[in-house]
Every structure is written in C-alpha cells, then in structure tokens.
Chains A and B, each alone.
Chain A
Amino acid sequence: DAGVIQSPRHEVTEMGQEVTLRCKPISGHNSLFWYRQTMMRGLELLIYFNNNVPIDDSGMPEDRFSAKMPNASFSTLKIQPSEPRDSAVYFCASSRDRDYFSYEQYFGPGTRLTVT
C-alpha cells in the first residue's frame, strides 16, 4: 500500500489567496483526520470524518477553513482567504476505526504551507 498521500508537499502563497490541500487515505480506512502542526501550538486536530461524514469540526479555526470528503478515497482542506498565521504543516491521517474504538492512525507526509 502507498500509504496516505498528500499534495502538494510544499505550498507558498500570498496572503489573501485560496489554498487547497489534498489527501488520499489508505484504501479500506473509514476515518480521516486533518491536523495542523506548529511549534507554538503543537499538533491540533482540525476536523475528523468517519465514513465520509464530518463528525467533529470543532478544531477548525474559523470560517476561512473548510473541508470536504466527497468519497472514501479523497478529501480536501481549503483555506480562503489565507493569512500568514495559517503557515504550518498540515497532516492528513487515516485509520480503521470500529465501534468507538480507535486504532492506529497512519499519517501522510504533510503539506508545508507558507503564507507571505
């Protein structure tokens, strides 16, 4: 298996521009997570999908952030408009969860976002 695939790996954009991050989870996994990691705040869960349905989006910073999962093999995280404080590494992870018991999460390589 190729593991969790994220694209792009690096993104540099100017403040105000729209940014779209993409994720392909591991086939057969039914849960997908978007995280953001910064030195100051550590690893933060932004949103979590189960069977393509958003379950918990309480970590989404504000309305500028949105996430979709149109099918079991694809998810996007969009920031519009982007701001310098959004600069971080964004990770996508997937897992095979069952009956409210969490199994190990498999992380993608991350997207390093820099907003100037």
Chain B
Amino acid sequence: SQQGEEDPQALSIQEGENATMNCSYKTSINNLQWYRQNSGRGLVHLILIRSNEREKHSGRLRVTLDTSKKSSSLLITASRAADTASYFCATDSRGGNNRLAFGKGNQVVVIP
C-alpha cells in the first residue's frame, strides 16, 4: 500500500510565487525522497532527506522533515512555468526491504 500521502492534491499558482506541498507517512523511515514527473515522462529524483535531518536545500527547493509528526514538506521558491509537473513523496521504511512507498502525487500548475 502507498505510505506517502501528499496534500494538497492540486495547486495552481502564478509564476514567481512559492509552492508548498506536504506529505505524511505512517511508519518509521530511513529517508524520505521527493520526485517530479512531467507529463508523459518518468519520475525524476529531486531530493533525499535522511531521518536524522530536519531540513535540506537544493537550489530553489527546500525540504523539511518532522519525524515526530511523520510529515514532510516541499517548498519550491520563485516558481517557473517549467516547474509545472506532478510531485511525489516516497518513503523508505526502516527495517524494510529497500522498496519505496510512493504517494499519490501533487499536481502543480505554474501560470506564466
């Protein structure tokens, strides 16, 4: 079953604005990852945050992880039209077998 659950499901913003997505999970994890999927393409890895990390940055991306609340957020700053995509979180369960559990995805539309 899918462990990651993103919220909200769909987001429409103007270019230049920030976009924030949330993800919750149920079990203890080794790490949490965020992926992007452009229409008709495969998923592309964006960022990985380990369970002992609280915040991580990569370019215009900022990810936070709160293991006490079993939740994570992805912030895209100064959004661009090219950021239009679906965004998925995925968790790697501690003690698991290396499989990732993907959420249902957030669709983000950035209006030029």
Q: How many A-B residue pairs have CB under 8 A?
A: 65
* Chain A residues near B42 (CB-CB < 8 A): 4, 91, 93, 107-110
Q: B97 in the interface, Cβ–Cβ < 8 Å? A: yes
In the complex, residue of chain A having the shortest beta-carbon distance to the beta carbon of B95: A100
| Chain B contact patch, size range | 20 to 34
In the complex, residue of chain A having the shortest beta-carbon distance to the beta carbon of B101: A45
* Chain B residues near A50 (CB-CB < 8 A): 98
Q: B82 in the interface, Cβ–Cβ < 8 Å? A: no
Stretch at the interface among B18-26, B43-51, B69-77: B43-51
* A contacts with B: majority SS: strand
| Chain A contact patch, size range | 20 to 34
Bound-state Cα–Cα, A72 to B98, Å: 17
* Chain B residues near A91 (CB-CB < 8 A): 42-43
Bound-state Cα–Cα, A48 to B43, Å: 17
Check if B99 sits within 8 Å of A48, measured CB to CB: yes
Check if A48 sits within 8 Å of B104, measured CB to CB: no
